[in-house]
Amino acid sequence: MDPNLLAQLHGDDWLELSALAKRNTLTPEQTTRFLQLYRAASKDLSRITTVAPDSLEAARLSAIVHRSRNHLSSVPSGGLSGFARFFVVSLPLSLYRLRWDFVIAAAGFLAVAVLSGIWAGTHPEVLDTFGDREFRRQFAEHDFVDYYKENPNGFFAVGVWTNNAWIAVQFVLLGITGVYVIVGLFSNAVNVGFSGAMMFEFDRASDFFLYILPHGIPEISCIILAAAAGLRLFFAWVVPGPRLRRDKLAGEARSLLVVAGGLVLLLFGSGLIEGFVTPNPIPPALKIAIGVTYTAAVVVYAWHFGRRAAAAGLSADLDEHQAGYSVISTDR
């Protein structure tokens, strides 16, 4: 299509988009209109660059679309733009994309944990594989709780953080195997279920929930997210869809590595809770509330920014030139 004709037809819409992009805040109606104009302008820009990439219309519209994209993602220009993009677009969008994968993985984890706990609790011969009755009594009445108190709080917090972060990174990076993630998630769920069964055996159910829920809610959520990311990477390789397998896998890998980095940061928070809140003699309800609040804050963060980025058509992947699909030339 002729760039001049396209400018005549849609020039007013471009001006309206430019004006909205300069506003600090938008009403819900303006936001809807802004998204409509942004999508239409992006299509117009694609058409113009196909036939006349060096035209004045292409340069003008490119500036408008670029400004609008920055407005949508709230990412400022300058040296901190990459840092801001990570927290405002890439990380929340990657987590948002995993929401249904997470639900499925979490349901499977909880089902295995509950069923294995019931199985072990109703079959004494299963519990005997962990040790004799006195060994299990020692675990339920002393070892389970002492684990959270035997080391200084700061040292313990850093220890559990590094361990959980390493597990999360492995789940993402080795997700391409498929088997590693499934076996790892299954074994963790079984360990939770069997530990609960031994605590219930000696009427220590209150200790089990009191010492596992405050940090366990955010911690296990992060591990399940890592498993969901790893399995998505596996299916990108096995079922690439219409794209080339290598392109699908590369794109998912770059986006999901963002999840690995984000989970390392999020697990630091759960490590602090496990090190300083779980063993602290504060009211049980407050302990659990802290863990729930932290998890809820992460969910709200991912939902708000992730849905916003998804609605704007943004991507957690690198730009084409950053990913190596194209080369920007300075020759004119």
Mean pLDDT split into 10-residue runs, the chain, 332 residues? 76 87 77 86 84 79 82 54 78 92 96 96 88 92 92 92 94 90 95 95 94 94 94 85 74 82 94 94 94 96 91 66 40 37
- Nearest to residue 289, comparing CAs of 220, 223, 217, 221? 217
The answer to the question of residue 319 being in a domain is no
The answer to the question of residue 330 being in a domain is no
The residues, ordered by sequence, that sit 6+ positions from 259 with a Cβ below 8 Å of its Cβ are 91, 94, 95, 98, 172, 225, 226, 229
pLDDT score at 296: 97
Query: Do 117 and 247 contact (CB within 8 A), yes or no?
Result: no
- Nearest to residue 294, comparing CAs of 201, 244, 220? 220
For residues 42 and 116, state if they share a domain.
Answer: no
For residues 155 and 43, state if they share a domain.
Answer: no
For residues 38 and 119, state if they share a domain.
Answer: no
- Nearest to residue 257, comparing CAs of 175, 194, 147? 175
Residue ending a domain, among 73, 90, 106, is: 73
For residues 124 and 263, state if they share a domain.
Answer: yes
Residue ending a domain, among 53, 73, 93, is: 73
For residues 136 and 259, state if they share a domain.
Answer: yes
For residues 16 and 119, state if they share a domain.
Answer: no
For residues 121 and 188, state if they share a domain.
Answer: yes
For residues 23 and 104, state if they share a domain.
Answer: no
- Nearest to residue 233, comparing CAs of 173, 279, 278? 173
The answer to the question of residue 317 being in a domain is no
Number of domains in the chain: 2
The answer to the question of residue 326 being in a domain is no
Please name the residue ranges forming H helices in the chain. Answer: 3-21, 28-51, 56-73, 81-85, 91-97, 99-122, 124-127, 133-138, 144-146, 153-173, 179-201, 205-238, 245-272, 284-311, 320-323
pLDDT score at 329: 37
The answer to the question of residue 328 being in a domain is no
pLDDT score at 74: 55
For residues 169 and 292, state if they share a domain.
Answer: yes
For residues 234 and 115, state if they share a domain.
Answer: yes
For residues 229 and 107, state if they share a domain.
Answer: yes
The answer to the question of residue 174 being in a domain is yes
Tell me the pLDDT tens digit for each residue of 56-72: 888 888 888 887 877 76
pLDDT score at 138: 94
For residues 61 and 116, state if they share a domain.
Answer: no
pLDDT score at 328: 37
The answer to the question of residue 322 being in a domain is no
**pTM of this prediction?**
0.73
Domain that holds residue 204: 79-312
The answer to the question of residue 318 being in a domain is no
* DSSP state, residue 52: -
